[in-house]
Amino acid sequence: MRNIFLFIRRHFNLLLFLSLQIFSVYLIVTYNEYHHAVFSNTANNLTGGINSKYADIQQYFYLKKTNDSLLKANEFLYNKLKADFSLPDSLPRTYIDSIKIDSLTKYRKYSYMGAKVVSNSVTNQSNYIVIDIGKKNGIKEGMGVINPNNSIVGIVTEVTERYAVVMSLLHKDSHISGKLLKGGETGILTWNGVDPNYISISNISKSAKVVKGDTIISSGFSTAFPKGMYIGFVEALYKESGSNFYKIKFRSATNFNDLQYVYVIESADQQGVKEALDKIKKQP
């Protein structure tokens, strides 16, 4: 307390001057309309700027919650796409589920489940992705995986109770079927293990009309992905001597370096097709 009084006595003139200045400014702002308007405008701008910065900081800390909400919202919208429903016929071997979408008795063919990426590699010859859903969520081996932009990521190869391992397109043993959008020719996707942005598609005949910039989509020849899923676009093509096929290099539509969220695709036909193939393999 004694120090406070000593401070006041030492700086009495300065404190009195500042007090009178503040009081004068108050009187001017209060009883002069022009100065009152200028002060209010300045104060509002200053307050608005501070609130805007605070909102930006607060939004940053809520990014995780926002991303989780968007993931769930997109999952809901994916599951409403009419392209993922089919009209079954009366044949006894048709595999359908019991979820109807409208009065036309269309049935769900594909379902989507959102997941977060917990581990990802892009620099190895055999790259895998780990996601945070597993058996308890209904995930099974052979299910396709896409990113939020509807582009192919890979196929589930291993499943535990809480997690699943995805063999990405950037794997030497990944052989997903792709199709040229314009010409309709199909081929097999392979990765050379060098650049994570570029993948090759083989078995495209030299008689096919292939141009730079052509889009590559999923062929629909497997139960893992619906037909028409975006894979990438052609960046270079070569005619190899002594071969009847093109050598085509395309840029992947999926950015594997920045993969945070994915969707796992469940096909209603998958189990039926698997049982049919297993039956054939057992035949002598």
Q: Say which residue, 230 or 99, is predicted with more confidence.
A: 230
pLDDT (0 to 100) of residue 241: 77
pLDDT (0 to 100) of residue 130: 93
**pLDDT above 90: residue 165:** yes
Q: Where in the chain is the domain with CATH 2.40.10.340?
A: 111-282
Please state the pTM of the whole predicted model. 0.62
51-54, long-range: CB < 8 A, 24+ apart: none
**pLDDT above 50: residue 184:** yes
CA distance 117 to 259: 7
pLDDT (0 to 100) of residue 139: 92
Architecture of domain 111-282: Beta Barrel (2.40)
Kindly give, in sequence order, each residue whose CB lies less than 8 Å from that of residue 214, ignoring residues fewer than 6 positions away. Answer: 180, 181, 182, 183, 233, 234
Under 8 Å between Cβ of 199 and 230 = no
Average of pLDDT values for 139-161?
91
